[in-house]
Amino acid sequence: MGILWSFVWFCMVYDSPLMHPSLSEKERDIFEKEGSNILKSSSDLAKSVPWRRLLTSLPVWALYLANFTRSWVFAMIIFEIPQYFTDAFALNVSTIGFLTCFPPILMTVSVVFGGIFVDKLVKTEKVSVTAGRKLSLCIGFGSESLCILALGFARDYSTAAVLIVVAEGLAGLSIASFKVNPVDLAPQYASVLTGIVRSGVLGAAIGTAIAGALREKNAESWYRIFFITGSVHLFAVIFYSVFGSGQQQGWAQTEYTMLDIPKGDSVYGSTVISLEKTKDNLAEIEKSNTEENHNGIIPNEDIPDKK
């Protein structure tokens, strides 16, 4: 399946949505109005990555911790929970398989709903991009961490199964936060930043190793595992709530800035205009000022500095 999907990906993926031959006019308008028109990636840009400032950025570390603990929890759900049901409740394989099939189904729904919900809040200016990212992660991962902590008090497999379903189902809401956040923080370095924070998959190895070391084939040992996992996950949620951001960082700013925004238009996320567009706008403004000045429409001293 992986090989087959790779062939589909090679045939369907383009450098930009605007280059895709099946893009409709309505979709094109959306990308042109709301797309991130940042300076495009290049070899020169790759050489100028501000590594020191990137690696010491608190929003980057908040994002890394979110990825780290999510990988930890995801690995536990996939690899350890079936063993937990066996050790704590002596369930058979068929029952465990039935119970563990529900979390991914609910997560599928919550991922889509979470993306639409957060995007709607941001676009209608109910919340800022930063608030939207934090809200998404707090509801999703915050609920997941609390459910994992509560697993330590579950005394029957029905309660445990419900807690796991709720935990993984709500965790899907956080996809609208930590998966897309690299584009918010540094659009032109998004690929580099994504690679760095996704190395948080190391959390899966650490979490699995801790579970293997603490497991003693009884319910009590699993309570300790859940307490450690839930506490680490909750710490990451709190850290992101304080230091996370949805705004383009100063170390990721280009040498040009946004000019006057037409009335009715809004800036979404880290959208900035391209260097070429900036130059064109400056040229038009200079030409307009010169003509008005020559025609005596606006006295020279009253001409605003539109640059």
The pTM of the full predicted model, rounded to 2 decimals, is: 0.74
What residues of the chain score a pLDDT lower than 70?
A: 34-46, 254-307
Res 284: pLDDT: 58
Res 253: pLDDT: 73
SS3 track for 61-123: HHHHHHHHHHHHHHHHHHHHHHHHHHHHHCCCHHHHHHHCCHHHHHHHHHHHHHHHHHHHHHH
Res 15: pLDDT: 76
